[in-house]
Amino acid sequence: MSKKDLEVIIATDCGSTTTKAILIEKKGDTYRQTFRGEAPTTVEAPFEDVTKGVLNSITEVEELSGRKILDGEKIITPNNGNVGADIYVSTSSAGGGLQMMVAGAVKAMTGESAQRCALGAGAIVMDVLASNDGRADHEKIERIRQLRPDMMLLSGGTDGGTVTHVVELAQFLKAADPKPRLGASYKLPVIYAGNNMAQDKIKEILGDRTALIITENLRPTLERENLMPARHKIHDIFLEHVMQQAPGYPRLMKMVGAPIMPTPAAVGTMTEKFAKANNFNVLAVDIGGATTDVFSVFSEVFNRTVSANLGMSYSISNVMAEAGLANILRWLPFDMDEQDLRNRLKNKMIRPTTIPQTVEDLQIEHAVAREALRLAFDQHKALAVGLKGVQQERSISDAFDQTSSGASLINVMKLDYVIGSGGILAHSPRRTQSMMMMIDAYQPEGVTRMAVDSIFMMPHLGVLAQISEKAALDVFYHDCLVRLGTCLAPKGLAKDGQLIMEWEVTGSDGSKQAGQLRFGDMLHVPFACPKAKLVARPVNGFDMGAGSGNKVEADIEGGVVGLVLDGRGRPFNLSKEPAKRRDNLNKWYKAMEMYPV
């Protein structure tokens, strides 16, 4: 069937706990998501067959839509009237997702490139080994033995360069004789994407012990990263080896009309498509119970990180351990005993499905979410960097402006769009809460549009984008994104109450709003018009993206929240004085109408 003929699409995302199905139908020229269903994922005992959950979720879509999609355990294709679908696609993160270990010669160079490569392919990186990672050699071997990854990515050296380090890593790997996580009798798949001069040696060392796959070097020269060939190999092995071992996946692979993608890889694809279609710098986050995934596209460079132990239920206690109690307590507009907070968070960890019943309890979860988002963003900024080790040419005029190689690509002033997903952002009782959590965690500067993916549809759309980009983008704009609005945050510092910006917004429907922003204030202006023009005039010492005191004109979006004018300054710091901090928080939360009074 040609791509033009796609009219009815069924897509599923098999998560660790829930399998979600959506139905997409072409209405006139536009694709729209029309029905959805969900069912518990059935990878674990007693079912041990992922297709059961898939069929259950599709059955729910059948019941709601009245469309017959299944014939027994088969999907009826193509669509004909009110029967069948033209294609079925799926993503999967069930059974712990794709778990990898990567290795590179130098930690900050090929080690980092290998990490970016695996993360971009949708993997959880269990560890990064490198010749200079600070561990003794026998410790590295022990580590390889302890972990049981799904596959390993071995890189190291530029093409034609020294072979010693990468051969040494291969020998460590051989000595450790690691076993794959699934299927104890299979050989561990190892992708070699390092110095091409070492390929024969690597074959000699690992050829017998592992399922070795050799591909192009992911860092052929210090100045260039070439991640795609290795990423494609990761996807191939994910389908050929890892998925084949997971319960029910061989059957699922026969049901789909396009290759199954790891869920984060699909979200990454969708983020990239959206950024490219609009020429935006985009930050997307998915904060779950156990992990937080961060995706970014800055200056057309895509990056993904996964913070494996930052989440809102299973990992909530780890957020406390990493952020520190003081950092969580600082977001609470009331006084709270440390022991009480500790016990509450641990009780959430051991009973992860409970929900906050009171406003106070909700505020505690929101405080933790800010810290989880902030920490995951910090980890992302540390990895989303330019290539390190690159030789830079400098003229005499650069002598006073020397930056080292490997600076972070993330610049919050140039950030155009933030997309949040995951329970705490998608299902907060008030949308202002979601927007404020993201503003507090990311501290965007200048003009930043914000949205949430309310039912986490990005995985389905990412895998669909492989078949039809138009269908994926249509549904993304119309049904997936819930536009929150735009945050306007002048960068700079002043005294409380001092005028820092005058602003004016004109909607495409002719509606107008204007006003002044004073330092220390938060203003919430309800504004639903989807497209609008902003004119912002920051005072000297404040920057909205065009330099200190310079006027900015920009396209912005209204939404279910509207405009949020953040006059708290950047860098934004909460008062060290507890009483003043609580007064400020109460003032801002009231201005934003965040919580019931």
**Which residues sit at the interface with other proteins, rule CB under 8 A?**
16-17, 43-44, 94-96, 137-138, 141-142, 145, 163-164, 167-168, 171-172, 174-177, 179, 184, 201, 290, 309, 314-315, 317-318, 320-322, 338-339, 342-347, 349-362, 427, 429-430, 596
Chain centre distance of CA 143: 27
Kindly report the number of other CB atoms within 10 A of residue 53's CB atom. Answer: 27
Residue-by-residue DSSP string for 388-426: TT------GGGGGS---SS-BS--TTS--EEEEESHHHH
CA–CA gap between residue 435 and residue 561 (Å, rounded): 8
Tell me the backbone φ, ψ of residue 221, rounded to 5 degrees: -135, 165
CB of 97 to other proteins, least distance (A): 10
Q: Which is nearer to other proteins, 102 or 594 (CB)?
A: 594
Please choose, from the candidates 472, 419, 451, 1, the residue with its C-alpha nearest in 3D space to the C-alpha of residue 261: 472
Choose between 217 and 269: whose C-beta lies nearer to other proteins.
217
Q: Quick one: 18 or 498, whose CB is closer to other proteins?
A: 18
We find the least distance from the C-beta atom of residue 594 to other proteins, in angstroms, to be: 11
Q: Which is nearer to other proteins, 9 or 167 (CB)?
A: 167
Question: 110-135 burial, b for 16+ CB within 10 Å, e for fewer?
Answer: bbbbbbbbbbbbbbbbbbbbbbebee
User: What values do phi and psi take at 283, rounded to 5?
Assistant: -125, 125
CA–CA gap between residue 218 and residue 222 (Å, rounded): 10
Supply the minimum distance, in Å, between the C-beta of residue 563 and other proteins: 23
Question: Could you count the other beta carbons within 10 Å of the beta carbon of residue 525?
Answer: 18
Nearer to other proteins, 184 or 396 (CB): 184
**Nearest 5 degrees, angle CA 316-CA 302-CA 289?**
15
Comparing CB distances to other proteins, the nearer of 101 and 517 is 101
Minimum CB distance to other proteins, residue 459 (Å): 18
CB of 93 to other proteins, least distance (A): 10
State in angstroms the smallest separation of the CB of 21 from other proteins.
20
- HSE-up of residue 502 (Cα within 13 Å, Cβ side): 5
Please state the closest distance from residue 554 (CB atom) to other proteins, in A.
33
Closer residue to other proteins, CB minimum distance, 388 or 430: 430
At residue 57's C-alpha, the angle toward residues 55 and 62, to 5°, is 85
- Residue whose structure tokens are 């690509």: 409
* 272-279 contacts, C-beta under 8 A, 24 or more apart: 272/297, 272/302, 273/462, 273/465, 273/469, 273/472, 273/473, 273/476, 274/417, 274/419, 274/473, 274/476, 275/300, 275/302, 275/417, 276/300, 277/473, 278/416, 278/417
- Phi-psi group of 102: left, alpha or beta (phi > 0 → left; psi -120 to 50 → alpha; rest → beta): beta
Our CB check for other proteins shows the closer of 175 and 546 to be: 175
CB of 114 to other proteins, least distance (A): 20
Least distance (Å) between residue 344 CB and other proteins: 7
Cα–Cα nearest to 451, from 302, 325, 283: 283
Could you tell me the smallest distance in angstroms from the CB atom of residue 147 to other proteins?
13
Q: How far is the CB of 15 from other proteins (least distance, A)?
A: 10
The CA-atom distances, in angstroms, between 156 and each of 3, 199, 384 are: 41, 11, 20
CB closer to other proteins out of 172 and 417: 172
Q: Whose Cβ is closer to other proteins: residue 18's or residue 77's?
A: 18
Q: Which is nearer to other proteins, 342 or 551 (CB)?
A: 342
